A and B are shown apart, each in its own frame.
Chain A
Amino acid sequence: MESFERIYLDLSKQPGKCRIAETGLGWKPSGGGDTFTLDANNIQAAQWSRAAKGYELKILSRNAGVIQLDGFEQEDFDRTVKVFKLFYGINLENKEHALRGWNWGKADFGKSELSFNVQNRPAFEVPYTEITNTNLAGKNEVAVEFSLPANGSETGTNGHLGGARGKGRKAGAGKDQLVEMRFYIPGTVTKKEENEDGEEK
């Protein structure tokens, strides 16, 4: 088993301890309270990227959505790769994000999230669970609205998981909360491109 301190679960306010064991993964807030657990067989894929607090272990689960664990050190990567391979038979993918600062690229619709890619690297991802509404706002313009609490003061899981923000609550995590995102999507799509899009994983 490997264990890591000062890890944040799903943009939680409080840090906690993350344990990676053969049976699955656990996270316990440092301030005490309920423990989050994820069964080994619920882990479908995993990625390693730079996030806000440090490095992030992102788990695409089979039926618990996208789980984000932020606050790892860069040198935790090797340990984490090893146990993911050994315990779960999963290849922890090191996913570098685009840092160019460009606002053009390709919006890709994956299995559990929308990612915006700049030069074939994701600039960011949005789990579908965080989107409440999308609409065609104008010619070639798509508006995506995010799920936010009405008064902005609710604390995700009402504190029982250290303020972790599970499905549908991530946009409300910080003091600056993403409300809406608008895309320009060109309208002229040829047959060939449609096929390419359809084949994307």
Chain B
Amino acid sequence: DTNGVQQKKFKKFESYKRDNQFPSRVADLAIVVDVKAATIVLPIMGRPVPFHINTIKNASKSDEGDFAYLRINFLSPGQGVGRKDERDPFEDPNAHFIRSLTFRSKDADRMADIAQQVTELRKNAVRREQEKKELED
């Protein structure tokens, strides 16, 4: 059953198992890119919230006034991107999705650096996924 196999594969990705696995830098209420966990940790109302790189579509930085803005777009239904077989959670028609999160900071260089790191992490994830597929075929 192809569907079952795909589902199992999909559910494999997980940022952390325990809350002591967060990088210690999350204490600063700032965005942390955790390369080892292929995860970006975002501060939301004082809580570190992990998002696995597999959920992220892209990240972009823009400047406006005194602030730099970092917008993180997530994979979600109705965007016409990604292949159907990679999107098993979309099978639940009632699921809600975080579609995007936007942060601002006065440190434009840091925001640009985070956007760059996310892009890099995303590229690596896609490459690894392709390599895995080729091995399976």
Give chain A's interface residues, CB within 8 Å of chain B.
10-11, 49-54, 56, 68, 70, 96-97, 99-107, 116, 123-127, 130, 139-141, 148, 151-152, 170-171, 173-186, 188, 193
Contact = CB atoms under 8 A, between A and B. Distances in A.
Given A152-B66, A152-B67, A184-B77, A103 B97 contact: yes
Contact of B69 (A151, A173, A179, A184): A179
A103 B105 CA distance: 23
A201 to B, nearest CB: 18
17 contacts: A10-B46, A50-B19, A51-B47, A52-B46, A97-B47, A100-B52, A101-B51, A104-B89, A104-B97, A173-B29, A175-B106, A176-B42, A178-B42, A178-B44, A178-B45, A181-B102, A184-B98
Contacts of A97: 19, 47
Interface of B: 13-19, 21-22, 26-31, 37, 39, 42-52, 54-55, 66-67, 69-70, 74-78, 89, 92-107
In the complex, the 5 A-B pairs of residues with the closest C-beta atoms, listed nearest first? A174-B29, A101-B15, A101-B52, A50-B19, A184-B97
Contacts, number: 170
B96 to A, nearest CB: 5
